[in-house]
Structure 1
Amino acid sequence: MSSIRNSDKQLHLAMFPWLAFGHMLPFFELAKLLAHKGQVRITFISTPGNINRLPKIPPHLDSFITLVSLPFLPEHKANLPENAESTMDVPGDKTAELRMAYEGLQESLAQLLKSSAPNWILYDFIAHWLPPLANSLNIPCAYFSVFPALDTCFFHPPKSLVGNPAFLRTKIEDFLGPPKWVPFPSKIGLKFHEVKKFFGAPPPLVENVDNAILSCDLFVYRSCTEFESEWLNLVGELHKKPVIPVGFIPPTLQVRAVDEEEKNPMWATIKPWLDKQRHGSVVYVAFGSEIKLSQEDITEMALGLELSGFPFFWVIRKEQLSLTDLPNGFEDRTKDRGIVCKDWVPQLKILAHESIGAYFTHCGAGSVLEGLNFGRVLVTLPFYVDQSLHARVLEEKKVGVEIPRNEQDGSFTRTSVAKSLRLAMVDEEGSIYRDKAKEMGLLFSDSHIQDRYIENFIEYLQN
């Protein structure tokens, strides 16, 4: 610690995340943790609307973080909904247009990097064009992954292995278990219905993501060796590049958003209801801002919650209900023990409340970290392939219970929802999940461990 703080060398880092808040916020929180050390100056780059929606920078960090807005080019902006600048602003069929608009920022980003000359640039998985640009300007680039190292090992092997017939993955069956290049025991794999979705991804997009991730000079992960040392080590062995974990960047260290939430009128109405519930009795349900739930999904989730008998707090976005409906009479039948909230809520405050026993989630990387930070058992229902891998590793580590689905079509039932919730919350055989989640919560929320990772990262960049 002292060697870093006594150094006169101040680093200048540029950060350029993908236009999704599940990516922008971890980049932003990493920027603040780095700036807090006093040895790093950060230029954080995004579009004007996204910059305006970021949390406020704490006054004592103002001089270390510069927010820079790069507007979309008019020809790309015209293909998007009005004022749309992030994935939460666009329907799923417009994501390609958002990627094109993001790619259209190349020239203005190049001019900014030329004039500001950062020591490093941290970029995201979509920007396949950024490593060549950085290389042309003699700026080293680091891929900052908000996903665990497991994802890189499973989806992005080095090209030397891809071209080797012994390691080819051309059939659905090749993805149902761990890749052949994983040298240690693991049950990680996708389900049949998940692989079909993966094979349906456009080949150019898959190739671009591969190029973006594998063209870096340094891998940086929102992870730690205490959680996935074997996968972090494997990334380095496979790709022959340095790998630096920066810790989980847990929510209790983020922006001190909890203080702002205390003043929010929503919390004033939510807290009294939570206070009335028994310790560890409530299921918190939230599936992020971008998951599109079908009518069948909504129906089986709702009736599963009802069948479980547990108190629940379900946050469901209005957009998720725009084309669907809750089952007829569901809210009336469960009004004495459940709340369906169709507005923004202070999620960290809810997860921190002692009445919460389990977090029913899609298993996005940020949601996993927030739930485990407070020692909550995760009941998982993944919708995208990265979430599926997260659910499998959480099951392996006995901190998450995955709701069973039909292998062929991915459907699930209200009965499987209720049974999984009971296993996580009260069944004797599920006690190992509850104990392990509490144990993991101590690791995820340990500020000393987090501080050590940030200091190690700065030391690596300085040297």
Structure 2
Amino acid sequence: MESMPKPSMESDDKLHIVMLPWLAFGHMIPFLELSKLIAQKGHTVSFVSTPRNIDRLPKMPPNLAPLINLVTLQLPQVEKLPKNAESTTDLPYDKVKYLKMAYDQLQQPMTQLLADMAPDWVIYDFAPYWLGPVAAKLGISRVCFSIFIAASLCFAGPIPVLKGEDDRTTPEDFTVTPKWIPFKSNIACFRLFEVKRIFDDVASVDEENIPGTYRFGAGIEACDVLAVRSSYEFEPEWLKLLQQIHQKPIIPIGLLPTTAYDSSDNGEAWTEIKEWLDKQSKRSVVYVAFGSEAKPNQAELTEIALGLELSEFPFFWVLRNRRGVADTEVIELPNGFEERTKERGVVCTSWAPQLKILSHDSVGGFLSHAGLSSVVEAIQFKKPLILLSSLADTGLIARLLEERRMAYLIPREEQDGSFTRGSVADSLRLVIVEDEGRIYREKVKEMSGLLVDDAVQDKYVNNFLDYLKKHKQ
């Protein structure tokens, strides 16, 4: 374990904050973005993760590096967890529970780290349900930080429900609005195929699996403040309801649009991609990416590929065909697809600079899994969204965006979530070029200034830090 002594503060209003995200890049990156925004205000952050994850994080801008300490804790080995698997991106979905088991064994070294550092605050994710009581005993103030939107947290319910007192026991129970949501909304329930994919982590308990809902419940119960990656401009009614449900301070911290990193290490990859994008017409390219965790099954992959082919749009597809070496279900593109589309499409199976791609003028639409970070990046660069939701709360996010007319959802079959190549092609045409889809192109531009503007984000971070300064123990 690498630990750092508590930094000396020039004045009492400078904070030292420890960050502990879950071992998923969809969690680590928002935690890192928040760390950067906090450091920009002159506070010190100790960002804790495992060695391999720390090595894979984007490089810090030189002006912030002295204020963000990257602290490593060695991940314990547990049976059934593949070697060198330190994040969810290294694992098929059914093995993530073993990563959680290893993560839980970080309790003792994390306790020692907090005791040595004695920070003003610790900001933790949903997964370390054990951290709140540990920090409380050490006299450290506690923030539970949700990278999930307020609507998702409202749907999950109050603490007793999260911790197991839930009368929802079948997948079908999660397809209706829960009793604690007092207004009608199509966001307030899962579609059947969505909940089937995550039901084991929502409702089942065994010796190998402490559900994510229980973890969240314990984390919220033990915190002083619940911070949410959201804003009043994005979901005001849900933030208000979340306050009523939990009866404790709820602080939105903005949508955390991705800010600049030191990108000197990926210049060559970007040069090649940019050359290809530069050759395409303005707003003609479909950018396709499903994040670090979502992986379509073989049937879905086939329909996405053939839908792209049918649409006749140029496309740039970042394809993850397996989740780590332990993933035995390798998905494959249809026979002949790459040969038939080589003149107008690129399939990239390695890392690609998503921010830079989305910022390019030739990109006319983003086919995505509705992960919040990807959604925020699309809004940043005013790219209309075509969505195929996947795991976790992406279905709820997708319907919130649909309700706001900021995204179009590809039609899917209710039971199994299947869709056709024709619906993929039709959805792309609608959003990118057709008059009927103009609303999606215009709405994302309109909302960009409200949701991801630097001044708006700064307001939320200042409000959050003012609270932390006033209420530290």
The TM-score, its normalising length taken from structure 1, stands at: 0.91
For 1:402, the equivalent position in structure 2 comes to 409
The separation in 2 between residues aligned to 1:273 and 1:114, in whole angstroms, is 52
For 1:3, the equivalent position in structure 2 comes to none
For 1:41, the equivalent position in structure 2 comes to 44
Comparing 50-59 with 150-159, which one deviates more in the overlay? 50-59
Task: Give the Å deviation of 1:77.
Answer: 4.9
Task: Give the Å deviation of 1:222.
Answer: 1.6
The separation in 2 between residues aligned to 1:59 and 1:333, in whole angstroms, is 45
**Selected match of 1:209 from 216, 239, 262:** 216
The separation in 1 between residues aligned to 2:113 and 2:147, in whole angstroms, is 24
The separation in 1 between residues aligned to 2:307 and 2:295, in whole angstroms, is 19
Task: Give the Å deviation of 1:157.
Answer: 2.4
1:133 matched to 2:140? The reply is: no
The separation in 2 between residues aligned to 1:366 and 1:380, in whole angstroms, is 14
The percent of aligned pairs where both chains have the same amino acid is 50
Task: Give the Å deviation of 1:113.
Answer: 0.7
Task: Give the Å deviation of 1:79.
Answer: 4.3
Aligned residues: CA RMSD: 2.3
Are 1:44 and 1:66, in contact at CA under 8 Å, matched by a contact in 2? Answer: yes
For 2:372, the equivalent position in structure 1 comes to 365
The separation in 1 between residues aligned to 2:377 and 2:175, in whole angstroms, is 28
The separation in 2 between residues aligned to 1:215 and 1:242, in whole angstroms, is 13
Are 2:231 and 2:252, in contact at CA under 8 Å, matched by a contact in 1? Answer: yes
For 2:307, the equivalent position in structure 1 comes to 304
Are 2:295 and 2:321, in contact at CA under 8 Å, matched by a contact in 1? Answer: no
For 2:264, the equivalent position in structure 1 comes to 260
Please show how residues 193-204 of structure 1 align to structure 2 within 5 Å: 193-201=193-201, 202-203=204-205, 204=210
The separation in 1 between residues aligned to 2:333 and 2:281, in whole angstroms, is 26
Are 2:149 and 2:230, in contact at CA under 8 Å, matched by a contact in 1? Answer: yes
The separation in 1 between residues aligned to 2:397 and 2:132, in whole angstroms, is 27
The separation in 2 between residues aligned to 1:270 and 1:81, in whole angstroms, is 33
**Selected match of 2:452 from 442, 445, 458:** 445
Task: Give the Å deviation of 1:7.
Answer: 7.0
Secondary structure (helix, strand or coil) at the match of 1:98 reads helix
Task: Give the Å deviation of 1:173.
Answer: 4.5
Are 1:373 and 1:441, in contact at CA under 8 Å, matched by a contact in 2? Answer: yes
For 1:288, the equivalent position in structure 2 comes to 291
1:383-408 CA distance string (max 9 Å, x none): 21411111111110101111111111
Task: Give the Å deviation of 1:443.
Answer: 2.6
1:245-289 CA distance string (max 9 Å, x none): 1112212x243x5x537x611221111221222211111001122
Residues 385, 20 of structure 1: alpha-carbon distance in 2 compared, 3 angstrom cutoff: closer
Residues 181, 444 of structure 1: alpha-carbon distance in 2 compared, 3 angstrom cutoff: same
Secondary structure (helix, strand or coil) at the match of 2:251 reads strand
The TM-score, its normalising length taken from structure 2, stands at: 0.89
**Selected match of 1:22 from 26, 29, 41:** 26
Pick 1 or 2: higher relative contact order, CA cutoff 8 A, min separation 6.
2
**Selected match of 1:319 from 308, 318, 322:** 322
For 1:335, the equivalent position in structure 2 comes to 342
For 2:6, the equivalent position in structure 1 comes to none
Query: Any stretches of 5+ residues in structure 1 without a counterpart?
Result: 1-5
The separation in 1 between residues aligned to 2:64 and 2:363, in whole angstroms, is 34
Are 1:147 and 1:222, in contact at CA under 8 Å, matched by a contact in 2? Answer: yes
Are 1:29 and 1:254, in contact at CA under 8 Å, matched by a contact in 2? Answer: no
Are 2:23 and 2:86, in contact at CA under 8 Å, matched by a contact in 1? Answer: yes
Residues 407, 322 of structure 1: alpha-carbon distance in 2 compared, 3 angstrom cutoff: closer
1:274 matched to 2:280? The reply is: no
Secondary structure (helix, strand or coil) at the match of 2:286 reads strand
